[in-house]
Structure 1
Amino acid sequence: MRIAMVSEHASPLAVLGGVDAGGQNVHVAALAAALAGLGHTVDVYTRRDDPGLPPEVDLCPGVRVRHVDAGPPEAVPKDDLLPWMPQFARVLVDAWAHERPDVVHAHFWMSGLAAVQAGEATGVPVVQTFHALGSVKRRHQGAKDTSPPGRVVTETTVGRRVAAVVATCTDEVTELSRMGVPVGHVRVVPCGVDVAHFSPAAAPAGPPRREPVRLLVVGRLVERKGVDTVIDALADLPDAELCVAGGPGADDLDGDPEVVRLRARATARGVADRVHLLGRVAHDAMPGLLRSADVVVATPWYEPFGIVPLEAAACGVPVVGSAVGGLLDSVVDGRTGVLVPPRDPQAVARAVRSLVDAPVWAAATGRAARERAVRLYAWERVAAATAEVYATVTTGVGTRDGVGTREVRAV
C-alpha cells in the first residue's frame, strides 16, 4: 500500500523538546517506520521551516519525508500556520496527481484541512488523527489558548468529512461525539512505543543521585504539562529529588520563560535545591534516564495521549499520572501505576509515597507495566491496527454522508 502522511507542523525529522516538537513528531516518525516494516511505502508531507532543507529526505527504508513550500521557510508557531493551508493543499494536489497514494493519513487538524481538500480533488480517501482537540484545549487553557478562531468548528467539519477518524484513546471518542463527529467511523488505535529501545535492560544513567528517591518528569516545558504540580509535591516528600528533562539545551535554559517560572516556583516552595532542570536529553540517553528514576511522574492538566508514560512503562518504571485523556488508557491504576487528579500536589505526594514505601509492589507494578506495553503498544501492533483502518477506507470512500463530495473550509 502506498501511504501519504500529512503532518504540517510536526516533522518526523525535528529535534524534540521545543514548544511545538513533541509526541506528534515521535508518533509520525515511528508509525511511518513501522508501516514500512510491514511492507508499505510512506511519504510524509511536512512544511519546510528552513530554506536549507532538501526537497526530500529518506527517513528510513520505505519512508520519505517531503518538504512542502507553504508559508515562509522558517519556524512559525503552529497556531499561526492556518493561512498557508490552502497553499499546502495545492502542493498535495500536484504531488498526488503525479504519484497517487492509496490512502492519506492526516495528523493534526490543520493537516486534515489541507488533506481533505487535496483528497477530494484527487479522489484519495483520508484518515484523520487529531492528536489534540481544540475543545479540550479551550476548556483547560481558557484565555491562554492560542488556537485560531473557528478551530473547533473546523475540526468537527473535518471529522465528519474524512473516511475515518483514528482516535488515540477512548476519552477522545467521547469528546468527538460531543462535537458531533459520528462515532461510527471513529476507530481507537493508540500511540505506540519502541519496546526494544525503551527496555528494562537499559542501564540507569543521568546525573548523580543526591537524594534517596528520584522522581523524573520528561516532556516539553509548557505550563499545561503540570511540572509545577510535581515541584509543589516535593514539599511533602523531603527525601526526594526531581529531575526534569525537556525544553531547550542545558546551555539555553536560563533564557526560557517556563524555566524561569519553574525555578521561581521551586524557590517559593523551599525545594529549589532538590529540583534539577536537565534541558533537552538525547533520544539515545532517555532509556537510561528513565531507568534511573524510582517513579516517573506525568501530571498534565490534560493530555491527548502522552508518550512518556508508555516509555516509562516499557522500561519497567512505575508511573504516577494525571487521570486525564490518554493516561486513562495507558496507566492501569493500582496495577501499572497510580492515577491522581490533575493539579493536586498532595495526591501526587501520596501516590509517590505509596510506591517508594512498598518496593516489592513498585517492582511488580513496573513489571506489569512492561508486559502491558509490549502486549498493547509495540509499534508493530499499532502499525498493523492502523493499516487495518486504511484497508477499510480504500474500498468505500464517498459512500457515507457525502464524504469526498464537499469542500472543507476553515471558519
Structure 2
Amino acid sequence: MNPLNQTVKTSTFNASQGTAKKSTPISQRLGSRNRQPIALISIHGDPDVDIGREEAGGQNVYVRQVGEALAKLGWQVDMFTRKIHANQPTIVQHSPYCRTIRLSAGPLEYIPRDELFEYLPEFVTAFQNFQAKEGTNYPLVHTNYWLSAWVGLQLKKHHNVQLVHTYHSLGKVKYQAVSHRPSIADTRLAIEQQILEQSNTVIATSPQEEEVLRYLVSQNGHISVIPCGTNLENFHVISKPEARLKLGLDPQKPIILYVGRFDPRKGIETLVRACHQYQTTTNASFKLIIAGGSDPNKTDGQERQRIEDLVNELGLTEQTCFPGQLSHDILPLYYAAADVCVVPSHYEPFGLVAIEAMACGTPVIASNVGGLKFTVIPEETGLLVPPQDINGFADAINRILTDDVWTQKLRKQASVRVSENFSWVGVAIRLSDLYRRILAESIMDERLLPLSRSITASEITTIPVTNPTRKVS
C-alpha cells in the first residue's frame, strides 16, 4: 500500500475560536508600500515559543529569524504554525511586516510530531480560510520540516504556488540511528522524496546536507545551498571574566557547556561519559553545564531524568549543573563563560548551537557529521570527533582545556568565521534573491494556472507519488 494513500481526518476552519487581536487586511496594513506577501509554514515549530522546550530548537529559531530579516528587506512575512493551547494568541505581531499566525488543526493541545499527520488537512483548510478572510494570496510558500512539506504540496497542487522547502531533519538519517521506526516512517520518507522532486527548490543548509539529500533521497529536483545564521547583535564576544561574574560562576574553574534539547540523538550521554573519562584520566577539576528546557511529562523530560541518573551513577553530581531553559538574553553569557561548547549530536543538518557559541568566541567540539563539518573548521575554530566516540570527545576536551595559547587563537578565529559567513541578514539576502528569481520565472511561465479556486474538504487528500520529470539543475 502506498503510504501516501492512507485515510486522514478532514474538517473545516472553526472561526468561533477567534483571535487574540483583530487582524487587519494586508491591503490596509501595507498602504502604499505594496509589499509582496509570502508565507513561512512551520507546523510543529512555533516561531514564538521559548527555545529549549519539547520539540523547540533550531527550526523555531530559523523560521523566526529568517522571517524578521526578510521583513526588513521589504517582504510581508506571515509565519504559520499550529495552535496548541486555547490561551495562545492567534496572531503575534513581531514587527509591522512580520507576524506569527497560529491555526487550529486538531485538538488544542501538544501532540508529538509523529502523530500530527492526520490533522494536516485541517491545517490546509484553516490556511486557505485565513487567506480568504484577509483577502490575499501567497504566491510563494516556504515550508519547514516534512509535515509542512505535505501542506505545501497540497497548496502547490491546487493553487499553483511557488514552493521552497527546508528539511531541518531527514527521516532517512533519523531512522538509521533508531531501533524502532514509527508507523509514520514510510509516509515521511515518501513525502521527503516528493518535496525534493516537486518543489521549486529545496534549501540545503550546508554542502554536506546537499550530498546527503542526493545520496539518500533523490537525484531529481533542485537544491540551493544557503546556510543558517545567528543574531550577531545578541551573540557576540563577551569577556569570560565578565560573563562568569554576571552568572556567579567560579572565575577559575574550567567550564564545559552543552546547550540544546534533551533527546537521545543529541548525544548528551556521550558528553557525560567523556567528561567522566576526562576526570578519571587527568583528575582535573571542571564544571559541566547541561542547559536546556524539559517537561517531566514528555520525552525530553524523560531523557533529562536519564541523563541525571547517569551523572549520579558516574559520580559527577557535584561537577554538573542543569540550569534549565535559557532565554536568548542570558544564553550568550553562558557561551562566553564556557571554555568549550560541545555539540555531540548523532546528526545535525546544520547545528545552530555551534555558530552561536563561536559567535561568542567559544571553541566548539562537535560530532563529525552533517552541517557540523561545514560550520566547525578543525584546528581553526574547534575540533571534530566521530559521533558517540567517548574517547575522542574526552581527548578533545583535554586538549582544549590544557593548551591555553592555541585555545585563545581558536576563540578569535571562531568569532571571525561566524561574523563573516553566518549572519541572519546575509542568509535573508540570499533567500530574498532566490524568492524573487523564482517569482520572476513563474510570471514568465506560460503554463501557470490562475490562482482562483479554493480547495474543498473533499479534495484534501494525500498526494500520490509520481514519476518526476525535472532533472538536476
* Separation (CA, whole Å) in 2 of partners of 1:347 and 1:385: 37
**Counterpart check, 1:11 vs 2:31:** no
- Count of aligned residue pairs for this structure pair: 408
Per the TM alignment, residue 240 of structure 1 is displaced from its structure 2 partner at its CA by: 2.1
1:356 to 380, 396, 401: 401
Higher alpha-carbon deviation: 233-242 or 153-162:
233-242
CA positional deviation for 1:269: 2.2
1:1-53 deviation line (CA, Å, top 9, x unaligned)? 32111111111111221221111111110010111111211001111111123
Say if 2:50 and 2:327, in contact at 8 Å, map to a contact too: no
Q: Does 1:126 align with 2:172?
A: no
Aligned position for 1:220: 261
Question: Quick one: structure 1 residues 144 and 150, their matched pair in 2 at CA, closer, same or farther if it must change by over 3 Å?
Answer: closer
2:243 paired residue among 190, 204, 210:
204
- Write the deviation string for residues 43-65 of structure 1: whole angstroms up to 9, x where unpaired: 01111111123332202231011
What is residue 99 of structure 1 aligned with on the other side? 136
The answer to which of 230-239 and 216-225 deviates more is 230-239
Query: Do the aligned residues in 1 keep the contact of 2:365 with 2:396 (CA within 8 Å)?
Result: yes
- Counterpart of 2:422 in structure 1 is 377
Partner of 2:360: 315
- Is 1:258 aligned to 2:303, yes or no? yes
Distance 1:96 1:163, change over 3 A: farther
Match of 2:212 among 175, 180, 187: 175
In 2, the alpha carbon distance for the partners of 1:408 and 1:331 equals: 40
Alignment pair present for 1:154 and 2:195: no
Candidates 87, 98, 103, aligned match of 1:63 = 98
Asked if 1:367 is matched to 2:412, the reply is yes
Q: Aligned partners of 1:11 and 1:408: how far apart in 2? A: 24
Q: CA deviation at 1:310?
A: 0.7
Distance 1:137 1:102, change over 3 A: same
**Structure 1 residues 306, 147: CA separation in 2 closer, same or farther (over 3 Å shift)?**
farther
Distance 1:403 1:308, change over 3 A: farther
Between the aligned partners of 1:399 and 1:176, the Cα distance in structure 2 is 29
DSSP-derived class of the 1:59 partner: strand
Identity value in percent: 30
- Residue deviations 1:261-280 (CA, integer Å, cap 9, x gap): 11221222232221211111
Q: How far 1:259 sits from its partner (Å)?
A: 2.1
Where do 1:244-323 residues align within 5 Å? Answer: 244-248=290-294, 256-323=301-368
Shift of 1:353: 1.6
Aligned counterpart in structure 2 of residue 409 of structure 1, from 447, 457, 463: 463
The equivalent residue for 2:74 is 39
Residue 240 (str. 1) matches residue 286 (str. 2): yes
Q: Decide whether aligned partners of structure 1 residues 356 and 183 sit closer, same or farther in structure 2, where only a CA change above 3 A counts.
A: farther
- C-alpha change, 1:145 and 1:363, in structure 2 (3 Å) is farther
Higher deviation after alignment, 171-180 or 33-42: 171-180
Higher mean displacement: 293-302 or 62-71: 62-71
Secondary structure of residue in 2 paired with 1:281: coil
User: Contact 1:11–1:25 (CA<8 Å) still a contact in 2?
Assistant: yes
- Structure 2 CA distance for aligned equivalents of residues 65 and 260 of structure 1: 33
Q: Contact 1:230 / 1:345 at 8 angstroms: preserved in 2? A: yes
Aligned 8 A contact 1:298 1:322 in 2: yes
Deviation at 1:287, TM superposition (A): 0.4
Given that 1:215 and 1:293 are in contact with CA atoms closer than 8 Å, whether structure 2 keeps it comes out as yes
Q: CA RMSD in A?
A: 2.6
- 330-339 or 11-20, which deviates more: 11-20
TM-score relative to the length of structure 2: 0.81
CA 1:223–1:289: 2 relative to 1, 3 Å? same
Q: Decide which structure has the larger Cα Rg and report it.
A: 2
Unpaired segments ≥5 residues, structure 1: none
- SS at the partner of 1:150? helix
CA distance in 2, matches of 1:169, 1:138: 21
Q: What is the rounded CA distance, in whole Å, between the counterparts of 1:111 and 1:275 in structure 2?
A: 38
The alpha-carbon deviation at position 152 of structure 1 amounts to 0.7
1:185-220 CA deviation, whole Å, 9 max, x = no partner? 100111110011001136414352397211000000
Does 10-19 or 308-317 show the bigger shift? 10-19
What is the one-letter code of the residue matched to 2:91? E
1:185 maps to which of 219, 222, 244: 222
Q: Do 1:4 and 1:43's aligned partners in 2 also have CA atoms closer than 8 Å? A: yes
Task: Find the counterpart in structure 2 of residue 89 from structure 1.
Answer: 124
- TM-score (normalizing by structure 1): 0.92
Q: Distance in 2 between matches of 1:408 and 1:169?
A: 30
Which segment drifts farther, 306-315 or 266-275?
A: 266-275
